[in-house]
Amino acid sequence: MTELRTASVDASPASRAGTASARILTAVQAAGLPIAIALLVGGIVLAVTGNNPFVIYGMLVRESFGDINRIDATLAAATPLLFTGVAAAFAYRAGVFTVGVEGSFVLGGLTAAVVGSSVGGLPPVLAVVLTLVAATAAGGLAAVIPALLRARWAVDEVVTTLMFNFIVIGVASWSVQSFFQQRGQANSATAYVAPAAELPPLNPPNQANVGLIIAIVVVVGYAIWMRRSVLGFEFRAVGSAPRFSLAQGLRVRLVVFVAIVGAGLIGGLGGGAHALGIVHRYTSGFSASFGFTGIAIALLARFNPIGIVVGAILFGALNSAGSTVQLFVNIPIQLIDILQGTVMVFAVASFAIPRFMKRARRGAGRDDA
Amino acid sequence: MPIPPPSTPAAGSVTCRIGARGVSRSFGSVRANIDVSLTVRQASVHAIVGENGAGKSTLMRMLYGLDIPDTGAILVDDDEVTFSGPRDAIARGIGLVQQELAIIPELTLLENLVLGAEPRAGLVWNRKQALLSATELATTVGVEIDWNLSAAHASIALQQQVEILRLLYRGANVLILDEPTAVLAPAQAAELLRLLLSLRDAGRTVIFISHKLDEVIEIADDITILRSGRTVSSFRRGEIDRAGLTELIIGDRAPDERDDADRPAIGEAVLIVDGLSASDDRGIPRLSEVGFRLHRGEIVGVAAVAGNGQEELAEALLGVRAASAGSIRLDGTEIRRATVRERRRLGVRYVSADRKREGLGVDLSLVDNAIASSGLSQLGRAGWLSRAAVGARTRAVLERAAVRFGTAKDPASSLSGGNQQRVVIGRETIDEPRVLIASQPTRGVDVRGIGYIHELLRQARDDGAAILLFSEELDELHALADRIVVLCQGRVAGTLPGDAPRTRVGSLMLGESATTTKEEGR
């Protein structure tokens, strides 16, 4: 056998550098292009409504990063998005396109509010941990049925998780009104959580809180787990090459199940942290579509952990600055929605179109004998 | 839109309705067509026969303008033409039915028929007019079609008829069909052949590729044989019989040298397959009651013309395809209902014919490709991978198969086809497999790479693996196999010694009765 072995020949350094820089270029293109187009569209909207885009954009930047308080507000707004972004990326890495994080976030939030209001007698750390564990479990529970349907019977997860969002959010509203409504509240809201269960702010009286730290830990955990764990490896393999993974005897069904439930767990934790850190209770409209914004962030970042952090801060900045900029100038309130919506549309498009083209080419170009 | 009148010159004025003169076409180092000539007479059925890779499809693609000859010319009505695309071919009345039908399942058969050339009534299409033309067209060629049926619910045979009618609807009077009967059950195939004959009787010209020599002899007016990219010869109806065709298709090349000196003796039976049956993705039975034994230290070849059940056999043995009946015993353990993961844990390994989708994760790194296996968790502990163990396994795999690569972090797609296949074989033979299912291991690999892959397989055999080798290359089977199991239409047509003459193997593959040649497997 020895005579068969030849020394492995290194590829030329030039070609290797080529692939590395090409990869970075595609990543920047993938994320930068949707953002650039969104800024352009937003600029046009501003110009049409008689505003100077550059002035308004400058104001947006100042309002999101201008001083320590503004940065704090941006980070507070980014915190739920970090959770939902990682949750979406977690499932998408395995090629599973769950959209159920929104429902898990809501159920996690409600659970945290209910549990958190009744743990006043416990020491703070224990109260918080207990409440967040309950929220995480609730988020995972909301995803179990779609996960089983997909892993066992290959039922399309986009449809089931989307439908489950409606179910979960409906059940949450109903149960608040029926069981948990705080007396004396006009709209449906639970009681405030016990002070012991609140996530303390990092820089009082600003809003960014310990939830941000937890979110960063989750992002780091996600990055390490994907690279270093056996199941994380299988996630990447199944997401990148499903038929190959099946033929290699990887645990494809387990991966699919864990992907959907895991996204729910992370989403539930995010909802819990949002309830304990910012809202301190559950009210209708608890989630400002954080679950869906998380999808855009995950796609924009191509599941890269650093990209998720950048994306969450970007969307967080839009949210926090958007609401204050309106105090100073008369811009259409929908501008922020337009910017977010455009980024999302093009993020999804820049992710989906190359896949679609690849499939079309594969269909057309058939090998022949 | 009424059926356009045939745009052909009066019959008899043209000797060659469509053909080729001295056509050559190469893809990289592969010479698909070498000085090929073809003359197809007006209003004839012309069969093109030859082994896999003989260059048939390439020739058909050039006739239809999907490809352009490097040298030589395509002829239409005795004139040299240069097609810049299928559009030009369609304009000259030429239509192609590929193996994968261009039918849109969401539409009805009628909509599929007229799509792209709908009769119009103002802004919408004129359904009534379309139905009228469709019915008329079907009647003229003698078929009956429920035009309102959704294409998704139509059988393959029906879809194929609609596709043929669509070409006629668009005015084609030369029809090229690439292995039209390969996807059909025998009764459906007979119906298709009748349709082809009635088209010819109506003055149209039909070219079809087939591996089924019986149907070729039955309906073809002319037969052209291709071998290794060259025209061997052409015959008129009745000038050649089945045996003569087989001999010309297979050729009489001498088998490669076998190098079997001082190899370990063949051992005990490892894999015993009995009465195994399976269906393809559409539910059509493709494998029926296949049985054989595979021994330690032995290579058994499986020879079959494409589409005769070998893919289904390989997939059923690995476990990615459910077997409908029969048994598979590995070292005495019944594994027919076992998962891929369980089978792999018992020592089954697999080299897929579909390297890019099943053999490798092309976008994954070489490291990922080298370690992806059911035994992954052994490369670490408690669910986490150990960097050192992963690195050691990667090096071992890449060195075992002498893969030439840049860095192990490069994606598998950065390697050449031959090197990609080395990664696959290195990975699948690294931990002493009990059974290695190797499906088309040298497909798309250059000559030097082929020799090396053969060495790797012999090495695995000598290390004690029981190898089942699926190959379209008879030379490959001759060079490696101790025995050759021939499949035909999903059944074992016979078992021959590894050095059986090519013509023996070939005639079994092409469906000759096996009663006189069947040998007892060990």
Question: Does the distance separating the beta carbons of B358 and A247 come in below 8 Å?
Answer: yes
Quote the pLDDT of residue B519: 43
Question: Does the distance separating the beta carbons of B459 and A236 come in below 8 Å?
Answer: no
* Average predicted confidence (pLDDT) for chain A: 85
Question: Does the distance separating the beta carbons of A369 and B306 come in below 8 Å?
Answer: yes
* Average predicted confidence (pLDDT) for chain B: 86
Question: Does the distance separating the beta carbons of A244 and B372 come in below 8 Å?
Answer: yes
Q: What is the mean pLDDT of residues B54-71?
A: 90
Quote the pLDDT of residue A30: 66
d(CA B34, CA B25): 7
Q: Does the structure show a pLDDT above 70 at A258?
A: yes
Q: Of the candidates B320, B385, B405, which has its C-beta nearest A228's C-beta?
A: B385
The model's pLDDT over B432-458, given as tens digits with 9 standing for 90+, comes to 899 999 999 987 776 667 888 999 999
Nearest Cα residue in chain A from B317: A247
Q: What is the mean pLDDT of residues B275-302?
A: 92
- Amino acid identity at A352: A
Cβ contact A198:A280 at 8 Å: yes
Q: Which two tokens stand for residue A228?
A: 């270093």
A235: confidence class by pLDDT, cuts 50, 70, 90: very high
Question: Does the distance separating the beta carbons of A369 and B339 come in below 8 Å?
Answer: no
Nearest Cα residue in chain B from A12: B406
Contacts of A230 in chain B (CB under 8 A): 376-377, 379-380, 383-385
Q: Does the structure show a pLDDT above 90 at B191?
A: no
Q: Which of A26, A233, A366 to mutate to test the interface with B (most CBs of B within 10 A)?
A: A233
Contacts of B373 in chain A (CB under 8 A): 248-250
Q: Of the candidates A19, A250, A369, which has its C-beta nearest B57's C-beta?
A: A369
Contacts of B343 in chain A (CB under 8 A): 249
d(CA B345, CA B456): 22
Q: What is the dihedral of CA B167, B171, B177, B180, to 10 degrees?
A: 40
Least Cα distance to B422 among B398, B439, B447 occurs for: B398
Pairing between strand B380-381 and B384-385? antiparallel
Residues 6+ apart with CB under 8 A from B279: B285, B286, B287, B312, B324
Question: Does the distance separating the beta carbons of A240 and B364 come in below 8 Å?
Answer: yes
Q: Does the structure show a pLDDT above 50 at B515?
A: no
d(CA B147, CA B140): 15
Q: Of the candidates B99, B372, B384, which has its C-beta nearest A248's C-beta?
A: B372
Q: How far off is chain B from A251, nearest CA to CA, in Å?
A: 8
d(CA B475, CA B477): 5
Q: Which long-range contacts (CB under 8 A, 24 or more apart) does B278-285 make?
A: B278/B309, B278/B312, B278/B313, B278/B315, B278/B316, B278/B321, B278/B322, B278/B323, B278/B324, B279/B312, B279/B324, B280/B312, B282/B156, B284/B185, B285/B324, B285/B490
Q: B406 or A270, which is more confident?
A: A270
Q: Which two tokens stand for residue B487?
A: 């499949």
B27: confidence class by pLDDT, cuts 50, 70, 90: confident
Quick count: other Cβ atoms within 10 Å of Cβ A359?
10
CATH topology for the B18-103+154-249 domain: Rossmann fold (3.40.50)
Architecture category of domain B256-347+433-522 in CATH: 3-Layer(aba) Sandwich (3.40)
> Which pTM was predicted?
0.75
Q: What is the mean pLDDT of residues B213-222?
A: 89
Quote the pLDDT of residue A147: 96
Q: How far off is chain B from A302, nearest CA to CA, in Å?
A: 14
Nearest Cα residue in chain A from B354: A244
> Is B18-103+154-249's fold the same as B256-347+433-522's?
yes
Q: Which two tokens stand for residue A141?
A: 């529970």
Contacts of B350 in chain A (CB under 8 A): 247
Contacts of A253 in chain B (CB under 8 A): none
* CA-based R_g, chain A, Å: 23
CA distances from B65 to A156, A294, A367, B163 (A): 40, 48, 16, 18
Domains of chain B, residue spans:
18-103+154-249, 256-347+433-522, 360-432
Q: What is the mean pLDDT of residues B139-144?
A: 84
Question: Does the distance separating the beta carbons of A230 and B384 come in below 8 Å?
Answer: yes
- A243 interfaces chain B, CB cutoff of 8 Å: yes
Q: A24 or B242, which is more confident?
A: B242
Q: How far off is chain A from B522, nearest CA to CA, in Å?
A: 29
Question: Does the distance separating the beta carbons of A5 and B399 come in below 8 Å?
Answer: yes
Quote the pLDDT of residue B264: 85
Q: What is the dihedral of CA A172, A174, A178, A180, to 10 degrees?
A: 20
Question: Does the distance separating the beta carbons of B361 and A244 come in below 8 Å?
Answer: yes
- A152 interfaces chain B, CB cutoff of 8 Å: no
CA distances from A48 to A41, A45, A327, A330, A345 (A): 11, 5, 20, 13, 21
Cβ contact B311:B288 at 8 Å: no
Cβ contact B33:B23 at 8 Å: yes
Q: Of the candidates A4, A229, A250, which has its C-beta nearest B385's C-beta?
A: A229
Q: How far off is chain A from B141, nearest CA to CA, in Å?
A: 30
What is the percent of chain B where pLDDT is above 90?
48
Nearest Cα residue in chain B from A225: B384
Quote the pLDDT of residue B179: 85
Residues 6+ apart with CB under 8 A from A152: A253
Quick count: other Cβ atoms within 10 Å of Cβ B60?
22
ipTM: 0.82
What is the percent of chain B where pLDDT is above 70?
91
Q: Of the candidates B344, B371, B402, which has its C-beta nearest A4's C-beta?
A: B402
Nearest Cα residue in chain A from B453: A4
Q: Which of A26, A244, A253 to mutate to test the interface with B (most CBs of B within 10 A)?
A: A244
Q: Of the candidates A6, A9, A249, which has its C-beta nearest B341's C-beta?
A: A249
* Burial class of residue B297 in the structure, from the number of CB atoms within 10 Å of its CB (0-12 exposed, 13-18 middle, 19+ buried): buried
Contacts of B359 in chain A (CB under 8 A): 244, 247
Nearest Cα residue in chain A from B60: A368
Quote the pLDDT of residue B250: 75
The model's pLDDT over A151-189, given as tens digits with 9 standing for 90+, comes to 999 999 999 999 999 999 999 999 998 888 877 766 778
Q: Of the candidates B384, B399, B452, which has its C-beta nearest A228's C-beta?
A: B384
d(CA A75, CA A220): 17
B102: confidence class by pLDDT, cuts 50, 70, 90: confident
